[in-house]
Amino acid sequence: MLAPSIKILNIGVGDPREELLSDVYNLIEEILDMLDIQEKIINKKEIESTTIDGYGFGGYGTIVREVIDIIRYVAKQEGLYLDPIYTGRAF
């Protein structure tokens, strides 16, 4: 609401797309309710259009070479350490 021009990018790292979309939408609804915000700031179509899925790399907890390689690269280049389950896959 404070920065409406900023779009959220949703990256799925394992769950099926429909489950991911449903979970994200439900979380947004819960947060709006918790903050007592009546305005709808995002709709399901926007969530769908900003969701990239398919970054499971073998399923939860599976460590694969591609993810380890990017974690090492980012750590070496930027000093930023990513975890192999979520941020490393998304990055």
DSSP 39: S
Contacts of 12 (CB under 8 A, 6+ apart): 20, 51, 52, 53, 54, 55, 56
pLDDT score at 14: 78
- Is the pLDDT confidence value at 80 over 90? yes
Tell whether the model's pLDDT for residue 4 goes beyond 90.
Answer: no
pLDDT in tens, 18-68: 998 999 999 989 999 999 988 888 888 988 999 988 777 777 778 889 999
**Per-domain residue ranges of the chain:** 1-54, 57-91
Q: What is the dihedral of CA 2, 33, 50, 60, to 10 degrees?
A: 120
Residues 6+ apart with CB under 8 A from 64: 57, 58
